[in-house]
Homo-oligomer: A and B are copies of this chain.
Amino acid sequence: MNRESYTRRRNALRERLKGWVLLLGHDEAARNYGGNPYPFRQNSHVLYYSGMTRPGVALLLDMESGRDRLYGPKDCVEDVVWHGAQPTLAELAEGAGIEDVRSITQLRSDLRDIGDPLHYPPPYRGETCLRLMELRDSSADEIRRGVSKDLALAIAASRNQKDEAEIAQIEEALGITAAMHQAAMAMTRPGLLESDVAAEIQRIALSKSRAQSYTPIVTVHGEILHNVTYEGELEAGRLLLNDSGAESVLGYASDITRTFPVSGTFNERQRAVYEIVLRAQKECIQRIAPGVRYREVHLHAARVIAEGMKDLGLMRGDVDDAVTEGAHALFFPHGLGHMLGLDVHDMEDLGEDVVGYEPGQERSEQFGLGYLRCARSLESGMVVTCEPGIYFIPALIDQWEAEGRHRSFIDYETLRSWRDFGGIRIEDDVLCTDEGHRILGPSIPKEIADIEAAMQG
């Protein structure tokens, strides 16, 4: 990324909008008091349009003149004493191709001078909302109502298309992520805790001064989809699901899942289910190409999974009918994937439908399909995750059985002996190209033989 690319991106916004765009950077985020913040992460739009990593800055972009402004805290000598020498605000601005640098204290009166329309994205941190309220003399409700849908669509149109430098960033992140996943496979053995593995993969990222792009899921209970505690013991006979990814130096995400047996060898049932998930994932990746709707790819995964569950005697009846009615979602209750970029769910702050759905494309209300974050027609330059999974979720099984749900497709009787299986997910990050697709990053073992070999050390 260089000043030309930041300028080009801001110019692309100018082709889609009139008026002014205000992008507020993040302040430090208080953990248990103001002076003890979480590790700083800049707002992704500010990163995308300027690369600024300093807290407390704001971009005010003039859609007419092209004379964009950077607002920030004054450089002061005390900072040098407490934080060491830093580039000045003016130097940072130059690196982003911005010439007009002003004090953040001036932003409020400047906003009064420029008039409307002022576009800003939805504030997702309380501090940002409070700052907007103060800058605009508005209530929280007024700020929420004033969010610019046009801006969200314009940003999504640009950021959905990754350029070469962005792909290189994602692949840089994936290089570290591959090391994290290989280390997890190599160290896993009965008697350790989930936390031993989670701690080691975070060590690998941090030793390269890289953050995690999200809180890792490292669990022997893969069926608990958002499990972010690590207190479980690695018992022989269970599977360990590792869903984790590092951030690149410029803040780009990666997002990889692998699932492997604690003992180092898949047992018969694990092998059978794993092969279904793997087949679904590989066939879905094969289908990624410009013009293909990701909703259709998701439904292909659902069919492969339903077919596999039928082979195992856990489902029955017509596979297409089962998928149409959503019966497979007992085992595959989430979506196939999402956009990936500066955010692991790219631009989720703008609204999932803005990013992952086409105008007029309705989101399903069916359990399972309704969780699909990316349903739209793919274009060359988009990066999506492809992450089918099969889970045995006792609470969900009990609920469905009690309600008699999809009884014609699901064999609840046979299912009883599978309740404690756990869950399997396999996830890669895939670039849609003119020719079709390319799996990003170095190869990370996902064939059963390769995983078992990696676990031998």
Measured CB to CB, the residues of A under 8 A from B are 29-39, 41, 43-44, 77, 80-85, 124-130, 133-134, 140, 193, 195-196, 198-200, 202-209, 214-215, 221, 224-231, 333, 342-345, 347-349, 393, 395-396, 399
Specify the chain B residue showing the minimal Cβ separation from A45: B32
**Shortest beta-carbon distance from A422 to chain B in Å:** 12
Q: A81-B395, A140-B133, A343-B36 are in contact. Are A30 and B124 (CB under 8 A)?
A: yes
Q: A129-B126, A226-B82, A227-B84 are in contact. Are A195 and B206 (CB under 8 A)?
A: yes
**Shortest beta-carbon distance from A27 to chain B in Å:** 9
Contact A193 B207, beta carbon cutoff 8 Å: yes
Number of copies of chain A assembled together: 2
Which of the residues B206, B209, B333, B345 comes within 8 Å of A35, measured between beta carbons? B345
List the 10 shortest-distance A-B pairs measured between CB atoms, nearest first. A126-B126, A126-B127, A199-B206, A203-B203, A199-B207, A84-B224, A33-B349, A80-B395, A199-B203, A33-B348
CA distance A52 to B133 in the complex (A): 31
Chain B residues near A80: list those with CB within 8 A: 395
Chain B residues near A200: list those with CB within 8 A: 203, 207
Which of the residues B208, B214, B225 comes within 8 Å of A81, measured between beta carbons? B225
**Shortest beta-carbon distance from A317 to chain B in Å:** 24
CA distance A84 to B422 in the complex (A): 12
Q: A140-B133, A195-B208, A396-B81 are in contact. Are A36 and B214 (CB under 8 A)?
A: yes
Chain B residues near A207: list those with CB within 8 A: 193, 195-196, 198-200
List 10 additional A-B contacts (Cβ < 8 Å) besides A33-B348, A126-B126, A133-B140: A29-B29, A34-B124, A35-B348, A39-B228, A77-B399, A129-B130, A130-B130, A198-B207, A202-B202, A206-B230
